[in-house]
Amino acid sequence: MDSTLKLARQLIERPSVTPDDHGCQTLMAERLDRGGFEIRHLPFGQVSNLWATHGNGAPVLVFAGHSDVVPPGPESRWSVPPFAGAVLDEWLYGRGAIDMKGALAAMVEAAVAYVATRPTHAGTLALLVTSDEEGAAVDGTSRVLSHLREQGISVMGAVIGEPSSRTRAGDAIRIGRRGSLSGQIRIEGMPGHVAYVPHESNAVHRLMTFLTQCLDLGTGAVHTQFPPLSFHVTSIGADDISRNVVPAEARADFNFRYPPPVTSQELENQIQQLLENIQGPHELHWRRSADPYLSFPGRLRTCTSAVLQEKLGCKPELRVDGGTSDGRFFAALGSEVVELGLPSERLHACDERVAVSDLHVLHDLYRKIAERYLNEDVR
């Protein structure tokens, strides 16, 4: 069994549901230590973080990812146990196979292989791994980058191992992400018999009016490289007393995905204006998940595109769709960001799986990117 597949299986076997790393980073640290990397564990709160480096000075190239995974759901819906790391017909199964233990294994083995052949490479090759990406994302990558910045360490380029490809590893890369803003609203009305409550006093009707106006906002902001602003209701409910009783209140959860240059504050201000037209008491609570980012085209994108062209024979598609990622934390500090990982087709699904061949391809891509970035003057 090759080293990348072996490490990926070992990582999947550790049920590292957010924020419990469950020994994944220790396993990776041991492999990197044997490969000559300097290891630092940076725990913050309940979150485990790993910072491993080889070399000195600028430029600093970081391979970044997360060891935590989302819960697997009912095991009965899986063909194999979700944390078994089983290989069937050249497919590696398990929670985290795609997001993103397969990519982590490829990063670790690619980094070790690279420094074995280039022990005196220019600059610094680093790996940053957190167990706080699928959760609150407070004590993970963001906290580590702030800590490194205090020590005078500035990351020039970051390769994020999030699943970014479409049908095969490397056919697409992400260079940005939309922002995410979630809200939870509760609107009160007049409870009573359906025959006697005025239409405008019905809490559910008031909520429906508000949500419809939010949908209209979703047709607004446009960015040439991004999908437009979108709005989705994720849950809706009201007191269920009787079929002929109007409830006293109605509730809903919703989410905006928004492109730059829109900000969360602008959206909150617009929603507040809508609420001024809603009759009756109401409460609104916000959760700001992530700001949008669009990475600038620089040396890292040039190197990555050249490697993909060389190894795969085609230029990668540049994507800005999908959910949020830790790439935003690097971009906010001025680092160039490229997200390159496995195909995302079965991301977070039961029977999450990745083709073993894609693990091998991704390993080779990561190694070649490090080689070009740290050893060639690409303009």
Nearest Cα residue to 153 out of 53, 64, 67, 66 = 53
In the annotation, is 339 catalytic? no
Tokens 């979150």 appear where?
A: 47
Beta strands in the chain (DSSP E): 38-41, 49-55, 60-66, 87-88, 91-93, 124-130, 157-160, 172-174, 176-177, 179-188, 192-193, 230-238, 245-246, 249-258, 282-290, 293-294, 317-319, 336-339, 353-355
Q: What is the dihedral of CA 344, 347, 353, 356, to 10 degrees?
A: 30
List 13, 21, 68, 162, catalytic entry: 68
Burial class from Cβ neighbours inside 10 Å (0-12, 13-18, 19+) for residue 168 reads middle
CA 371 to chain centre: 26
Q: Tell me, what DSSP letter sits at residue 239?
A: -
Tell me which of 13, 21, 133, 336 is the catalytic residue: 133
| Pairwise CA distance, residues 56 & 103, whole Å | 25
CA-based torsion, 205, 210, 215, 220: positive or negative: positive
Does 317 participate in catalysis according to the annotation?
no
| Catalytic residue IDs | 68, 133
